[in-house]
């Protein structure tokens, strides 16, 4: 069985070496980079299943790398950051990260978060047959394909992070029903989540920026103030 490939990017070699040791023990094939330029070169020449990126890197920052990747790829990304504030973590999610780990961190936490994120992707891929078909909204203006994890807006492919797509999927599966942040977190993370429920707001903001004509006056993902969110379909299902 082919091993999943993980790229760890941090300018501190001691950190990348010990992270690699623990993740290799879990059965992953691990690649290491210590600066942003080398990381982008490795990303272009390899097909990784997950990236672990430090924010502070030479040449290109973790934020810049994430923004470049998110133009074409949905590969799961975990951000490493020394910033402890809620706002810093929300900013990391806003640029396209799927999860974050604050420094200093334990190797156990890293392994758990990597395993959890990759399992979520694997479970999604294994279970797509049980999901509803693809959906076609507003005469093709918005198309969502659960099997391929693809979203098209005005016939143009829109790149979503894994968690953004899962949040959209959860809302679509429960369309016209109001879901609280807590309920979305429960369905999204299932067994492991240490974060802020306001992170869901960040995912919603990102989703709206990608599928709505105007984020200020959304037509699909609606806020029900004091309660949560709901998806309003104008649907032709396939």
Strands of the sheet containing 156-158, edge to edge, are: 156-158, 150-153, 142-145, 135-137, 235-237
Give me the mean pLDDT over the 121-146 stretch.
72
Q: Measured between alpha carbons, how far is 171 from 162 in angstroms, rounded to an integer? A: 14
Mean pLDDT rounded to a whole number for the chain: 86
What percent of the chain clears pLDDT 90, i.e. is strictly above it?
46
Cβ partners under 8 Å of residue 76, min gap 6: 49, 50, 51, 98, 99, 117, 118, 121, 161, 162
Q: Is the pLDDT of residue 197 over 80?
A: no
Report the DSSP pairing between strands 150-153 and 156-158. antiparallel
Closest CA to 237 of 149, 131, 166: 131
CA neighbours closer than 13 Å in the CB half-sphere of residue 102:
10
pLDDT digits (tens, 9 = 90+) for 178-191: 999 888 888 877 65
Q: State residue 131's pLDDT score.
A: 53
Do 8 and 101 touch, CB atoms closer than 8 A? no
Total-model pTM: 0.69
Residue ranges of domains in the chain, CATH in brackets: 5-127 (3.40.50.2300), 131-237 (1.10.10.10)
pLDDT digits (tens, 9 = 90+) for 66-119: 999 988 888 999 999 887 666 766 777 778 888 889 889 999 999 999 998 898
């Amino acid at each position: 069985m082919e091993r999943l490939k993980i790229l760890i990017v941090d300018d501190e070699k001691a950190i990348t070496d010990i992270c690699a040791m623990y993740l290799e023990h879990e059965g992953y094939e691990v690649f290491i980079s210590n600066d942003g330029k080398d990381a982008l070169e490795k990303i272009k020449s390899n097909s990784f299943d997950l990236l672990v990126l430090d924010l502070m890197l030479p040449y290109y920052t973790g934020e810049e790398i994430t923004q470049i990747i998110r133009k074409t790829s949905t590969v799961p990304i975990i951000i490493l950051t020394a910033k402890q504030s809620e706002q810093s973590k929300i900013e990391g999610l806003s640029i396209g990260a799927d999860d974050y780990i604050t420094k200093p961190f334990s190797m156990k936490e890293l392994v758990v978060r990597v395993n959890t994120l990759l399992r979520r992707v694997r479970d999604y891929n294994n279970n797509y047959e049980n999901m509803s078909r693809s959906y076609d909204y507003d005469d093709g203006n918005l198309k969502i394909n659960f099997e391929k994890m693809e979203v098209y807006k005005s016939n143009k492919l829109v790149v979503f992070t894994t968690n953004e797509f899962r949040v959209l999927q959860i809302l679509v599966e429960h369309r016209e029903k109001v879901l609280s942040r807590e309920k979305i977190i429960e369905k999204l993370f299932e067994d492991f989540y240490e974060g802020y429920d306001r992170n869901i707001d960040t995912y919603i903001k990102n989703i709206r920026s990608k599928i709505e004509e105007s984020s200020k006056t959304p037509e699909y993902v609606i806020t029900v103030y004091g309660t949560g969110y709901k998806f309003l379909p104008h649907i032709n299902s396939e």
